[in-house]
Structure formats: C-alpha cells, structure tokens
Amino acid sequence: MNFPEEQRRILLIEDDYGNRVLFADFLEQCGYRVLPLADGHNCIGIMQEFVPHLVLLDIKLPQVDGLTLIRTIRQHPQFHTLPILVVSGYAFQADRQKALTAGATDYMVKPIMPATLSSKILSLLTLPPTPISPEQSSQDSEPDSSSEFWR
C-alpha cells in the first residue's frame, strides 16, 4: 500500500458495522486515509503494511478484545509510541483506567460529537512520539447531549 506521505493514516477497529461506516466516512471527509476493520485479527501484520499514524478502536471486539489488542500493539517496537485512541460505550472510570493501563493514549466515551473526535485525533497526531503511560493520558471530553453522533 502506497499513500501520500502528507495524508495521515488511521487504522479503525470497530465491530459495529454502522459505527465503522460512520467513523470511516467522517474521518475520510476530514482528509485522513482510513483502513476500517471489524476485528483485530492479524492486526500487527496489517499495521506493518498500512503503517498507521493513529489507531482508533473499540474495547469490545470479537476474537481479540481491545485491551489485549492494545497490549499487543505496545509490545511491538515499531508501534510502541503510536497514538491509540479508544472509543467505547463503557463509561465507568474503571474501564477507562484499564484501557490506559493497557497502553491506550486516550479514551473517549460514546456517544461522541464529530467535532470532539476530530479535535482529539488532531491533538494526538501533533503530540511528539513518546512511550505511553497512564499518567500521560489526557482527560476525555464530555459530549454535548444535544448533538450526539455515534452510540
């Protein structure tokens, strides 16, 4: 796969078809090259070919759950500093902490407003690459309930 260097690539792993299509369409409209996947099967092999600038994933996935997937990505030297944004319906602080402890860069709770997602991704892509620890993760933004987008 050859992509223009200036076009940022996002690997999207979301098992819900409707959410996957919405996320992918929105991100492509924002100018990103998106590779949408329904699960994390063979994720590292796919990542080595696609070479994403950011991974956006759900926690509840078939075959390999999101937490295991995050740990697997973090163990690979090529992707140790890659931003990983979790977007999940799990709203408890304990769920967020599990994802951050596993190595996620940040965590957002569905529903998400498109503008909130866009600015979060932009901020993650402009951070200097550093090894991720839970202390480095920022707090997620609360969506405006009058403008819900994805559930």
> Per-residue pLDDT tens for 93-130?
999 999 999 999 999 999 999 999 999 999 999 977 76
Domain annotation covers residue 61: yes
Contacts for 14 with CB less than 8 Å, ≥ 6 apart: 20, 23, 36, 37, 38, 56, 57, 58, 87
Tell me what the pLDDT averaged over the chain comes to: 87
How far is 129 from 151, CA to CA, in rounded Å?
A: 30
| pLDDT bracket for residue 140 (50, 70, 90) | very low
Q: 5 falls in which pLDDT band (50, 70, 90)?
A: low
Domain extent for 55: 9-147
57 in helix, strand or coil?
strand
Of 73, 52, 56, give the one whose Cα is nearest residue 9: 52
Residue 79 inside a domain? The answer is: yes
- The CATH number assigned to the domain holding 23 equals 3.40.50.2300
